[in-house]
């Protein structure tokens, strides 16, 4: 962190800031410049509160310098993390496809869709049993019944299953059934849930908050790694902007940034980014081309009858096409991108 | 909701959309227009999934028409809600000031600040015992010890106290000590927490999510009212935008919109919006002038030693000045604004 | 500017960055830190291209330190600028109200509205003769005929008039008629227009671009001052965010920031921020309370017949009420705020 | 457009709104619903001012229904537009690559880079002669000398050249030298410039404004087509959001939306979106994968000495790799995407 002094700050002002820094246990290093002085704050272990110094006399600005996370950082763990779930590997040189309905509605629905997506090339099945819904009047998911159906899908098809956990209370239950536990956008900074996930033995998918910076997202991930669980997958699903032709704006530059900053795998959810079916295939191609480690896509055999998010779910024939296209793209450039 | 058909949609396409609407239990009402047809969706009770119809053949767009919330709506409850906490009233014609430190650090700190803010004119004391922190390495609050200090402040000064609850697990504990329970920005869509708050006997302050629309915010409030707790206070604290001269962008137009749409009281948190001390007084004046029912302000007697958010906390002498200014402003125009 | 090196950057990497800095005529000052080195870039006169150093080997990040503007800065010109237009003063301790229709439609319309707003307390009349319109099919203004009507309004009422200039070609014409020339949001970075305004003898109102940072806005102002025209008024009119209950989000924290950074006066346009009549009065009160030097408000005697922006124009009786309310607010706190 | 009435609006309120609609020459069609009435506004030719009806008694909301543009719309011109510049085709089934430095600095620089990019596979050369710069103190381009160098590049390599026009005054000059004229982000709503471009005989690249919706962008394009010039290429270059790990957020969902809404070709500028070299190749791959008609990329043979935007310019060897990767990706899926 760097504290930038006013042009007219007096030596006494500078001295007072140095003392304030030292009183917090850091080392202060004044750096006289052309027409003003800046003061470096060194050897701070955790995060320093940026705003603290802004109120001191003579201070013009405060600029953060180093990143606040450690365990998720590639600087401290240079090798790509690979997550193994049964026979499936996610991370590094793999392209892993997760697909299924937004919500589990019935055994027939789940099995029908699972067979479709497996045949098309999906590696992991997704489906919500507990659904976070904006409205208290919307369908909230089948709960444990949904989890049992997921177990049945795994048993029948052999595919691992991923499902969302929405609170601490039902975490044990979800953990018991799921192969991968998903933490959704609205819970990215539900720190109680993150801490619980840190003690889980199951891999976790952590979706990016809809207005989260990459630093905040990686700090949320840090909570989970700090708790002892390093099987973490990041999932970019679009951020909220002024744009309204898609539900969210898919931020694909997050992929090269995360891959550079962190060793954790990162996948793309084009369905929630788009919010409409006709953008899902193009955005999936883009997600693989930008170098994501995988995709998570909503598919439904009869989207016009789906209980949630039907309008963004692909038909099985569209998902098949998606798989073909992204595998071709992946094949063309990934070899030489190895290790980037 | 209105389903807008393509310019070239056939009568068969229109018919299929009508059937899809009816199959969901709604009434469909085609409206032939100049060069295209639109279809109204009527008598939908809860929210309809916007995206559902987007994928149907011949559909160009879907536009929502009615608001998805009921209990929070002024249409269904025309009178302003007033919350009473001991001798303090919040809502309607009152201007209520809540002040205190970001986090409770010690009994001495809390009592010192409480005396300052009470003398200056605060009605309610605020202070965090459980702190949601972006970094796992930051100070996380004193927990129950902090709650006990809050009780001591109430006992000593007579002021009601408000403090944040960060998860379902500690809700009972917080409820036992607090006069008002605060749900923070990052938990605005923690539905498990909202449901629990709906069963609380204590009034709740619900902060706006940092990227939440007013509809989403009011839907989150609807969860609490739907659970049976109608003592709800909304708190605008800034939204995330491209702007970086303040931590968040205080969205003051939310106040007239919420006051028109809802009967619930709405207050302003200028401290978290600004993130820096020198904007807090001007934004407080603006918040009262725009017609908020109150303010929630961070004050610390020694902000340069605060364990969190020191840079945005006012000195006691500044808070005194703030109270004088906002009371004058409130006096000048509120009389004629009665009932707005 | 500070170039932050990677944790693992070699002495050779650091050396190469130092040389790159020096090759551009700056002074490089390496600052060894706890676990990495940062390098200060000193004595840079104009702006340094941030992105330049990002591509060099071993560089992790680049953080700007000093502000890029000079002439608009309060550091270099500590006293508030006051603009005098006839008998009207704008800036420092004054509260100046500008009002009138969005577009000049006819002499009768302009004179009718001018009498209304003058009686209510407006100091300056506004009205568009050349209108920048999103659609080529919308009403584009009366052009020179509109300017002549503005001259008639000045002659009849004695009020100075402000009107927008939309291109270099018509600048001379507008300059001939107007007392103050307005540069609109969409032209904030039309550098050709800014340079021409720098050579004008008339004061200029420079509206903030709808996605402009304060630095960019002040740099646009710098173009005008650098050209020799220091009679400049800044106008905050809302920025584009994800929010949709108002047309734009009025960023009131810009006022204290601009007043601290710059000596130039800053006014608020609540009409374009809101885009709807029912938010204009509350936002005007907030704008004065936050400490703006004035307001620019749309008023129409028959808004339901206005050729543009009728929905956001106040009725004369509403404008009267607005003037009373903001004068009361201004009176209550401005005295003690003097000079702040 | 649909005017939604309040729940409690009286028949008189509804009548007054109907009359207001009819007084503007439209047809009003009341649509009684479950618990409120909506009124359709039909047969409006140009854009209707949304905000007009918001102020009328009993009106709750106004929702636009049809798109305001015509000539750019695919509904009215179903076939893809293909632009031909010499031997190069842009649009429909082509992948066209434009590359070169941000600014022309000298003949040697331009020719050196032109040879590099041509060898790697670029079809069109880019380079700025007139530069719009945020700061008046930054390098503003070589002006006509730069245009002459561009002509020399065309003569030597046979590649068509594209360069930016920044104002009406220099339009004739730029038109004389350039094969394609670029209108930059900051000028997307410089209507004077758009009108002039509408009378040009040269094709135009219209960059998206940094906070422009797709509707606004297509309306800006409509100005040019309405003027008679239908050789228009749209260019997505990122929008401004809260995100700061890239200079702008590349909005790739704009590509499928524009391709559906309009017949005009759309290309991607990954260099200005990213603002840093290490994101340019991944975003280029994504841009081609999402189905853009081309790319515009900044390349410099010695970026560390570039006079502007050096930090985002690729080295020639990187551009070569980019071309190989995007051609492979294009080959894999474009065939079956034909006609999409």
Task: Give yes or no for residue A238 having a pLDDT over 50.
Answer: yes
Q: Which position has the higher pLDDT, D283 or C31?
A: D283
Write down the pLDDT at residue A54. Answer: 78
Strands (E), B174-231: 180-183, 204-207
pLDDT band at B338 (very low <50, low <70, confident <90, very high): very low
Residues ≥6 apart with Cβ < 8 Å to A182: A126, A162, A163, A164, A165, A204, A205, A207, A235
Write down the pLDDT at residue C334. Answer: 64
Write down the pLDDT at residue D48. Answer: 63
Q: How many CB pairs under 8 A join A and D?
A: 128
- How does the average pLDDT of chain D come out, rounded? 90
> Is B313 in contact with B127 (CB distance < 8 Å)?
no
Percent of residues, chain D, with pLDDT higher than 70: 92
* Partner chains of A (3+ C-beta pairs under 8 Å): B, C, D
* Probe site for chain A from C60, C241, C257 (most A CB atoms < 10 A): C60
* Probe site for chain C from D64, D73, D165, D191 (most C CB atoms < 10 A): D191
- How does the average pLDDT of chain A come out, rounded? 90
Q: Does D173 touch chain C (CB under 8 A)?
A: no
Contacts of A186 in chain B (CB under 8 A): 189-190
Write down the pLDDT at residue C340. Answer: 41
Contact check, Cβ <8 Å, D49/C311: yes
Q: pLDDT tens digits for A200-209?
A: 999 999 999 9
Task: Give yes or no for residue D30 having a pLDDT over 80.
Answer: no
Q: Which two tokens stand for residue B331?
A: 């006096």
pLDDT band at D339 (very low <50, low <70, confident <90, very high): very low
Q: Which position has the higher pLDDT, C43 or D220?
A: D220
Phi, psi (deg, nearest 5) at residue D261: -75, -30
Contact check, Cβ <8 Å, D36/B66: yes
> Which residue of D68, D137, D247 is in closest CB contact with C47?
D137
Percent of residues, chain B, with pLDDT higher than 70: 92
* Spatial distance between the Cα atoms of D202 and D194, rounded to a whole number of angstroms: 13
* Spatial distance between the Cα atoms of B144 and D39, rounded to a whole number of angstroms: 57
Contacts of C64 in chain A (CB under 8 A): 63
> Which residue of D63, D64, D242 is in closest CB contact with B65?
D63
Task: Give yes or no for residue D64 having a pLDDT over 80.
Answer: no
Q: pLDDT tens digits for D139-190?
A: 789 999 999 999 999 999 999 999 999 999 899 999 999 999 999 999 999 9
Exposed / middle / buried, residue B338 (Cβ in 10 Å: 0-12, 13-18, 19+): exposed
> Is B268 in contact with B284 (CB distance < 8 Å)?
yes
Q: Does D94 touch chain C (CB under 8 A)?
A: no
* Window 18-37 of B, Cβ < 8 Å to D: 27, 29, 31, 33-36
Q: How many CB pairs under 8 A join B and C?
A: 128
Three-class HEC string of D104-117 = CCCHHHHHHHHHHH
Report DSSP letters for A172-240, one per residue. Answer: HHHHHH-SEEEE-GGGTT-HHHHHHHHT-SS-EEEEPPTT--HHHHHHHHHHHHHTT---EEEEE--B-
* Spatial distance between the Cα atoms of D123 and C138, rounded to a whole number of angstroms: 39
Write down the pLDDT at residue A203. Answer: 98
Q: pLDDT tens digits for B159-206?
A: 999 999 999 999 999 999 999 999 999 999 999 999 999 999 999 999
Q: Which two tokens stand for residue D44?
A: 């409006």
Query: How confident is the model over D254-273, as a mean pLDDT?
Result: 97
> Which residue of B4, B34, B40 is in closest CB contact with D33?
B40
Q: Does D297 touch chain A (CB under 8 A)?
A: no
Contacts of A209 in chain D (CB under 8 A): none
Contact check, Cβ <8 Å, B240/D242: yes
> Is A61 in contact with B151 (CB distance < 8 Å)?
no
SS3 C38: strand
Kindly give the pairing relationship between strand B2-5 and strand B59-63.
antiparallel
* Partner chains of D (3+ C-beta pairs under 8 Å): A, B, C
Write down the pLDDT at residue B340. Answer: 41
Write down the pLDDT at residue B48. Answer: 64
> Is A320 in contact with A115 (CB distance < 8 Å)?
no
Contacts of A321 in chain D (CB under 8 A): 336
Contacts of B273 in chain C (CB under 8 A): 253
Contacts of A70 in chain C (CB under 8 A): none
Contacts of A75 in chain C (CB under 8 A): 6-8
Residue A105: name the closest of A95, A94, A115, A113 by CA.
A113
pLDDT band at C66 (very low <50, low <70, confident <90, very high): low
> Is C37 in contact with D296 (CB distance < 8 Å)?
no
Would you give the distance in Å from CA C209 to the centre of its chain? 8
Contacts of B283 in chain C (CB under 8 A): 252-253, 256, 290
Write down the pLDDT at residue C86. Answer: 92
Residue A230: name the closest of A202, A257, A267 by CA.
A202
Worst-scoring range by mean pLDDT, A37-51, A68-82, D263-277? A37-51
Q: Does D45 touch chain B (CB under 8 A)?
A: no
Exposed / middle / buried, residue A203 (Cβ in 10 Å: 0-12, 13-18, 19+): buried
Domains in chain A (CATH in brackets) are 2-63 (3.30.70.1140), 83-337 (3.20.20.70)
SS3 D171: helix
Contact check, Cβ <8 Å, A75/C8: yes
Contact check, Cβ <8 Å, D51/C310: yes
Q: Does D210 touch chain A (CB under 8 A)?
A: no
Query: Which residues are C4's β-sheet partners?
Result: C38, C61
Q: Which position has the higher pLDDT, A194 or A6?
A: A194
Q: Does A61 touch chain B (CB under 8 A)?
A: no
Contact check, Cβ <8 Å, B245/C328: no
Worst-scoring range by mean pLDDT, A38-52, A77-91, D226-240? A38-52
Helix (H) or strand (E) holding B298: strand B294-298
Write down the pLDDT at residue D33. Answer: 61
Would you give the distance in Å from CA B23 to the centre of its chain? 37
ipTM given for this complex: 0.87
C38 CA: distance to closest CA in chain A (Å): 9
Q: pLDDT tens digits for B259-283?
A: 999 999 999 999 999 999 999 999 9
Q: pLDDT tens digits for A28-57?
A: 877 766 567 778 776 555 556 666 777 788
* Probe site for chain D from C26, C45, C53, C55 (most D CB atoms < 10 A): C55
Q: Which two tokens stand for residue A86?
A: 């049964």
Residue A238: name the closest of A160, A173, A312 by CA.
A312
Write down the pLDDT at residue B206. Answer: 98
> Which residue of D56, D137, D308 is in closest CB contact with C304?
D56
How many helices (H) and strands (E) chain B has is answered by 10, 14
Question: CA-CA distances (angstroms) from residue B316 to B116, B201, C290, D298?
Answer: 6, 33, 20, 54
Q: Which residue has the tokens 């202060």?
A: A28
Q: pLDDT tens digits for B37-77?
A: 778 776 555 556 666 787 788 888 777 656 678 889 987 78
* Window 104-143 of D, Cβ < 8 Å to C: 132-138
Q: Which residue has the tokens 């999932």?
A: A235
> Is B226 in contact with B218 (CB distance < 8 Å)?
no
Task: Give yes or no for residue C28 having a pLDDT over 50.
Answer: yes
Report DSSP letters for C92-134, one per residue. Answer: TT--EEEEE-SB---HHHHHHHHHHHHHHT-SEEE-BSS---S
């Amino acid at each position: 962190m760097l504290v930038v002094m006013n042009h007219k700050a007096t030596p006494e002002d500078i001295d007072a800031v140095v003392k304030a820094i030292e009183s917090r246990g850091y080392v202060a290093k004044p750096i006289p410049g052309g027409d003003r002085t800046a003061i470096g704050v060194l050897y701070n272990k955790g995060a320093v509160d940026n705003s603290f110094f802004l109120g001191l006399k003579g201070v013009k600005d405060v600029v953060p310098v180093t990143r606040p996370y450690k365990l998720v950082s590639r600087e401290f763990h240079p090798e790509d993390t690979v997550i193994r779930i049964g026979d499936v590997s996610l991370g590094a040189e793999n392209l892993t496809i997760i697909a299924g309905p937004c919500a589990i509605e019935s055994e027939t629905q789940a099995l029908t869709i699972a067979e479709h997506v497996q045949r098309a090339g999906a590696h992991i099945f997704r489906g919500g049993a507990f659904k976070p819904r904006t409205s208290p009047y919307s369908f909230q998911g089948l709960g444990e019944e949904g989890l049992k159906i997921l177990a049945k899908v795994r048993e029948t098809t052999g595919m691992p299953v991923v499902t969302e956990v929405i609170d601490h209370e039902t975490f044990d239950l979800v953990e018991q059934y799921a192969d991968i536990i998903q933490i959704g956008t609205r819970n990215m900074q539900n720190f109680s849930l993150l801490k619980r996930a840190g003690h889980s033995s199951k891999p976790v998918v952590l979706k990016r908050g809809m207005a989260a910076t990459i630093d905040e997202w990686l700090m949320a991930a840090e909570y989970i790694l700090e708790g002892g669980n390093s099987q973490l997958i990041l999932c970019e699903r679009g951020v909220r902007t002024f744009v309204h032709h898609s539900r969210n704006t898919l931020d694909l530059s997050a992929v090269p940034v995360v891959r550079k900053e962190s060793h954790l795998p990162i996948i793309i959810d084009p369905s929630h980014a788009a919010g409409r079916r006709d953008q899902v295939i193009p955005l999936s191609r883009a997600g693989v081309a930008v170098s994501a480690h995988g995709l998570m896509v909503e598919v439904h055999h009869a989207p016009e009858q789906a209980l949630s998010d039907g309008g963004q779910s692909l038909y099985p024939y569209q998902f098949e096409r998606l798989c073909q296209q992204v595998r071709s793209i992946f094949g063309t450039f990934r070899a030489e991108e190895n290790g980037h």
